[in-house]
Amino acid sequence: MSDQKKDISRRKVIKTGAAGLFTAGVAPMVFTKGAWAQEFRNDPKGGDVVLGFNVPQTGPYSDEGADELRAYTLAVKHLNGEGDGGMLNTMQPSNLKGNGILGQKVTYVTGDTQTKSDAARDSARRMIERDGALIITGGSSSGVAVAVQALCQEMGTIFMAGLTHSNDTTGKDKKRYGFRHFFNAYMSGAALAPVLEDEYGNDRRAYHLTADYNWGWTQQESIQNATEALGWETEKNVLTPVGAGDFSQYITPILNSGADVVVLNHYGKDMVNSLTQAIQFGLRDRQANGKNIEIIVPLFSRLMAQGAGENIKGILGTSNWNWSLQNAGSAAFVKSFGAEYGFPPSQAAHTCYVQTLLYADACERAGTLYPPEVIKALEGHKFDGMGNGPTEYRAEDHQCFKDVLVVRGNQNPTSQFDLLEVVQEVPRSQVEYDASIFGGELGPYEV
């Protein structure tokens, strides 16, 4: 009863379609549902390898989602040997030959997460159950990443996380089938703290505005721990809803709170709004305790900087990657992305591109698409030439360890994209932590 016949001719589909309500446009969707999982779900059996790109196309993180999708289509091109190859040429070690994955052509399907757990799981299920996606990748929110990762574990489908910065993704909620290349809140705190000490001293009072979900919470906690270790005090932490739009009611109380540092644990359009409003309220022109009030945005991206415009100047934060980096991998990626779309990629695009290549490479090394073997090939894998220097996928929690960038909003940008200057590349050793501190269990290889 389960697997309906799939060999519907185009003509027949059109005929049926014309008869039904709203069917007219369905015809082009030729479904190749993978045959029944004798071995594993969605085994292409020599056909095309289908990747499922699940990104926010609507909602507060849609800018990131659009950029992620650009990077994914570019990665698919490069994997199939089209275009200039991008990071395929700089990746070390690399087993990718530009002939798809294991000689099979790579295609993709897309879905909209809407930055909602339910919607994201729905679209992931559609891609797995109907479209035969072999992996799910993407996303720009940790709430979604955790929800989709759990689904993928259940389904036995590998999940290559996109932009997700919460400690939970590879901490308390880590899964055997989930992998994250992006850095996390703990690393942001560890990297940012010494720079904050240099710039703002040891005697500060911080006021946190925090996005009310797992990413916001863990980032706030990590920054609070890191700054309190410097001797700072934490005045207050206020939770704000995601997609609030108007933050003025949260910003006015800061003015008289006695705090002299404001930490905005926001991302995407939320961060653009809260930062812009904070500046409009004149926070940075004021003084408290005899010091200038400073604003910190622990997780920064160029897309947000673009949205916030002038307001971003001089503000400190951290970033996974920035297009201005001068290593070979970054240069190759920026070049092919720029040639394709006419502007440089964001860090969200970078991490998604890298994740796709890493998955493909792991399949080549494992010599199979069978997920447990691919997982073993990714675990503990060390690589270089992907824009972040030497990087390791730690086997214990599937978190990538690499250098972290501390960045500042550029005071004198030379172009509309040159918005962030890299203050420091904090070495991996300084941001590393023990895998057991966040708890959680990976779960089994076979599901």
Percent helix, strand and coil across the chain, each rounded to 5? 40, 20, 40
Member of 45, 97, 130, 335 binding other proteins (CB under 8 A)? 130
Q: From 15-23, 196-204, 381-389, 401-409, give the range in contact with other proteins by CB under 8 A.
A: 15-23
Q: How many helices (H) and strands (E) in the chain?
A: 13, 17
Is 58 a binding residue for other proteins by CB under 8 A? The answer is: yes
Is residue 79 at the binding interface for other proteins, with CB under 8 A as the rule?
A: no
**Binding segment (CB under 8 A) for other proteins, from list 14-22, 84-92, 179-187, 374-382:** 14-22
With contact defined as beta carbons under 8 Å apart, do 135 and 51 qualify? yes
Backbone Cα Rg of the chain: 22
CB of 217 to other proteins, least distance (A): 9
- Report in angstroms how near the CB of residue 274 gets to other proteins at its nearest: 17
Of residues 159, 125, 178, the one with CA closest to residue 440 = 178
Interface with other proteins, residue 116, by CB under 8 A: yes
- 414: Cβ–Cβ under 8 A, 6 or more apart, which residues? none
Interface characters, 209-248, with other proteins (x: CB under 8 A): ---xxx------------------------x-xx------
The minimum distance between CB 370 and other proteins, in angstroms, equals 17
Contact with other proteins (CB under 8 A) among 67, 112, 260, 379: 112
**Please, what is the minimum distance in Å from the beta carbon of residue 228 to other proteins?**
24
What is the residue-wise DSSP string for 81-106? T-TT-GGGGT-BS----SSSBTTBPE
Over the range 226-239, which residues count as b (16 or more CB within 10 Å of their CB) and which as e? bbeeeebebbebbe
- 25 exposed, middle or buried (CB, 10 Å; 0-12, 13-18, 19+)? exposed
- Residue 20 touching other proteins (CB under 8 A): yes
Question: Residue 126, interface with other proteins (CB under 8 A)?
Answer: yes
CA pair distance 174, 22, nearest whole angstrom: 41
Q: Does 441 bind other proteins (CB under 8 A)?
A: yes
- Does 117 contact other proteins by CB under 8 A? yes
Cβ-proximal residues to 105 (8 Å cutoff; 6+ apart), any chain: 48, 49, 80
Q: Which residues 343-402 are close enough to bind other proteins by CB under 8 A?
A: none
Residues near other proteins (CB under 8 A) are: 1-2, 4, 8, 13, 16-17, 20-23, 25-29, 31, 33, 57-58, 62, 109-112, 116-119, 121-123, 125-126, 129-130, 143, 146-147, 150-151, 153-154, 168, 212-214, 239, 241-242, 441, 443-444, 447
